[in-house]
């Protein structure tokens, strides 16, 4: 950053002369340094996959949670500051429950994502706060179909057929652009995501460090067990 720009680095409410909010850009950098997170639609659902980056054999891998269930058929995965993500997940869960109590039905995925993004956007507009240093991949199924959204620290959202956030985003997206097909089965879509993660990682993928969440039509959100993940990883080695 140039010395003349430092005055615009102090508060979230001040634009730089070239129209930038530096605190929002710093929050995006926190996401870029986070773990590689992948989401993709398949024939009858959507999957979320994340490499938790277990840095020490002393860490109990099940204590690190980066994929969360929000509602019956809605889940999300995070990259960036996990503590910030938990606040957003709690907000999303409350929003989904309020909608169910008020209207007697589950909240549409797009509506929920817009509510999350509106909440994130308020933290870019007022003094004394900072943006959330996390991005979310929100996946779900509703009466409109299957959905996968990426939310940005600025409060922006984009829908994807297959996408990624975190440190290995560019490598994963490049791999998906060459190999992704929308009619894949659940098993093949998760295998494709694991292949993409392996391309973006310098080390070998381990089943205890991989977290996978799956949503299928007429079935609730669930996480694959470590044994199921291990079997899928074994198929990549053959």
Active site members: 35
Contacts with 231 (C-beta within 8 Å, 6 or more apart), sequence order? none
Distance between CA 6 and CA 134 in Å, rounded?
24
Give the H or E element holding residue 1: none
| Sheet arrangement for strand 210-216 | 162-165, 37-42, 45-51, 210-216, 222-223
141-152 b/e (C-beta count within 10 Å ≥ 16 → b): bbeeebbbbbbb
Residue by residue, DSSP assigns 123-153 as TTTSTT----SEEEEEEEEETTEEEEEEE-T
43 vs 205: CA distance, rounded Å: 25
Query: Other CB atoms closer than 10 Å to residue 98's CB: what's the count?
Result: 12
Q: Which residues pair with 38 in a beta bridge?
A: 49, 164
The Cα-based distances of 40 to 164, 190, 203 in angstroms read 9, 8, 23
**CA 212 – CA 214 distance, rounded (Å):** 7
């Amino acid at each position: 950053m140039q010395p003349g720009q430092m005055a615009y680095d102090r508060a979230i409410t001040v634009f730089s002369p070239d129209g930038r909010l530096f605190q929002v850009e710093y929050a995006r950098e926190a996401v870029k340094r986070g773990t590689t997170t992948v989401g993709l639609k398949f024939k009858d659902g959507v999957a979320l996959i994340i490499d938790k980056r277990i840095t020490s054999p002393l860490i109990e891998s099940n204590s690190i949670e980066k994929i969360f269930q929000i509602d019956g058929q809605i889940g999300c995965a995070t990259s960036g500051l996990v503590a910030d993500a938990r606040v957003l997940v709690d907000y999303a869960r409350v929003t989904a429950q309020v909608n169910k109590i008020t209207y007697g039905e589950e909240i549409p995925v797009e509506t929920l994502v817009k509510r999350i993004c509106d909440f994130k956007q308020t933290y870019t507009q007022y003094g004394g706060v900072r943006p959330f240093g996390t991005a979310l991949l929100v996946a779900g199924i509703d009466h409109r179909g299957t959905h996968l959204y990426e939310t940005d620290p600025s409060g922006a959202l984009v829908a994807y057929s297959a996408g990624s956030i975190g440190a290995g985003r560019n490598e994963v997206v490049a791999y998906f652009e060459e190999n992704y097909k929308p009619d894949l089965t659940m098993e093949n879509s998760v295998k494709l995501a694991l292949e993409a993660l392996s391309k973006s990682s310098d080390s070998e993928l381990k089943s205890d460090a991989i977290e996978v969440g799956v949503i299928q039509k007429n079935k609730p959100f669930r996480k694959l067990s470590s044994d199921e993940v291990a079997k899928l990883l074994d198929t990549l080695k053959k």
